[in-house]
Amino acid sequence: MMLRSLMGIPLATGAMVALLTACGAEAPETAAASPAPAASAANPFLAPSPLPYGLPPFDQIEHAHFAPAFAAGMAEERAQVEAILASSEAPTFENTIVALEKTGAILDRVSRVFYSLSSAHTNDDIRALRAELAPQLAAHRDAIMLNPALFERVAAVHGQREALGLKGEALRLVEETYKDFQRAGAALDDEARARLKEINGALAKESAAFSDAVLAEVNASALVVEDEAELAGLSDDRRAALAQAAEDAGLGPNRWLISLRNTTGQPIVADLTHRPLRERLQKASEARGHRGGEFDNRARVLAILKLRAEKAALLGFENYAAYAVANQTAETPEAVEAMLSRLTPRAVANARREGAALQALIDREGGGHALEAWDWSFYTEKLRAERYAIDAEALKPYFEMNRVLREGVFHFAGQLYGLRFEDRPALPTYHPDVQVFEVFLDEAPLGLFLFDPYARPSKRGGAWMNAYVSQSRLLGTQAVVANHLNIVKPAPGRPTLLTFDEVNTMFHEFGHALHGLFSDVTYPRFSGTRVPRDFVEFPSQVHEMGATWPSILKNYAVHHETGEPLPEAELEKVLAAQRFNEGFRTTEYLAAASLDQALHRLPVEALPEAEALMDLEASLLTDLGFDYAPVPPRYRTPYFSHIMGGYAAGYYSYIWSEVLDADTVAWFKANGGLTRENGDRFRERLLSKGSSEPALTLFEDFRGAPPSLEPLLERRGLTD
């Protein structure tokens, strides 16, 4: 997953690029906060970092630095914008468009660090400041993007762009900057602009509160197990890790703490033989955000949906989905619906067939119960083992994390692209678990890669990439990117053994990192992963092929104790089982993606009171064809963090991107596989371009043809 914008809206000026890259699927927004402390000369954000590639000096950063740096950064950017407006010269590409790209260096630096830490290593101080900053930053953004005089200068350059002879990236920068201002509401009249500012402020406040409630409830909902017998099915290492988590939480001995993931399904249930505990976990997960109390998100969700619907109407769109999709590759909600509706009946039919097979297994074993959501993963693993003789726990010793990283992910990148990775342990990080690597392309320095693998209470759930520094020839910067995972940390002295899903996630997130590292553009507006939301997952999904590519898998899948490679027969079974359970996986995803679209197509008057939100969700899912209870949506609305932030009306992006991904992997297989020639083609024609050209133009230039849906249908077992 790629982190998106601060408020789920395009940002245009220099520092606002940082907000888009750093803040992610949650958000802030408007009003005035308490005065910030005076900026100090010792504040590390007030000057460029002296470290390699501009890596933030984490060892010097204190919480007290953030508020004054934000204040100084906003003041600096306001002054820079005022200087653009004060120019007596007629608007030109250089004195207006490029000048805007150069604004806000301080705000860029502090935003990237602060919002990265608010996801990766937060605390009460960061959460409080985040809520306080939200209205300030929304107001700051609006003061720039809704400034009629500034828009007039941008429009003037846009109107003469052909006469100026602008071409390539420069021409695209003018056109995209103009669109950003239009979408922000710069062309509205005074009354509408004033209301839009109010909406943006309210959205920021509600989105930040939603995000904080989700994270706090995930931590508060962790289940305490007091009878070790309930942990039957878990390995000794897994039990030791849960015991350590309980001890770290101050629960004392003979307690085991199971933390929840933000997804509806909880991965640990696949191994738990104790059915009542599986049920407790599932119900605790699904109850989040709508059971009353301080974490209840129903009112926040509805407030956000209503504000978004009003905003879309102000900007001339039929609904918020139309607004959100207009600047994506899909372009219209109807195009999204056409794809989702083609996939849904096939996926649900597959899931029902899988469910029938699981029920048959339950009956054969004399289970005496109907298949429920908390049974699915458990019996799926049993059936997987039965059909393919795969024992997921027995595979873990072959997937030791550091070997997967170095001999899998890095080896794959070296073979395909000529990359080399060098440990940089002396460079400072924000947490002891974070590793830093310098990256070289054919021995030329490319950037830094930070690897943050372990779950902790201060980190939100899921896996994602973010950039601390984005590449830009205009600014003379190279990329500093980070991958964040949520792997359970083992007890001290024990190895970190991964599930195959976790292995796949490592390759996926590293695909995002490569997209950032390979960026070779002039303007920050187009750097790295700053591409349409329904395109950003495409490169990362392509790189998942490394996890199962036979030559790569053989290189990293080695028993951590014996050094023996994963047996050939086991390897073949892993590859053969790739489409197993695809009905479930596709259905739970499509349910969430379709729900997102449906919620954002509703007019204000169709949105209910908070108490009826879950009834609305159930009704929408049934109408959309998802009426199969054993497969709930991957996220329920009250904890659907993606769509309450940067992926609003955009969760479909993963499957949209996978169409491109499946077609691209088919191209690699048909053209000689993981050769350096193929890697260079993909890097040079697509990964290095960011959004300096339209996304589908880049795809077709690489692929040599428009995308085809058939490889995706084949991959997911959805062909007729």
Task: Tell me which of 509, 544, 588, 617 is the catalytic residue.
Answer: 509
Exposure string of 331-369, with b = 16+ CB inside 10 Å and e = fewer, is eebebbbebbeebbebbbebbeebbeebbebbeeeeeee
CA distance 616 to 622: 10
CA distance 681 to 162: 31
Both tokens of residue 167? 């071409």
Q: Please, which residues have CB within 8 angstroms of residue 532's CB and are 6 or more apart in sequence?
A: 327, 328, 329, 691, 695
Q: Quick check: 504 and 399 in contact, CB under 8 A?
A: no
CA distance 536 to 529: 6
Active-site residue flag, 354: no
The three state secondary structure string of 121-142 is CCCHHHHHHHHHHHHHHHHHHH
Pairing mode, strands 435-441 and 444-454:
antiparallel
Q: Please, which residues have CB within 8 angstroms of residue 460's CB and are 6 or more apart in sequence?
A: 26, 119, 120, 122, 211, 214, 215, 218, 262, 641
CA distance 653 to 657: 6
SS3 percent helix, strand, coil of the chain, rounded to 5, is: 55, 5, 35
Helices (H), 389-432: 392-395, 401-403, 410-417
489: number of Cβ within 10 Å = 17
CA distance 168 to 75: 33
Terminal CA-to-CA distance of the chain, rounded, Å? 30
CA distance 530 to 467: 11
Pairing mode, strands 479-487 and 444-454:
parallel
For CA atoms 480, 481, 487, 488, the dihedral sign is positive
Active-site amino acid positions: 509
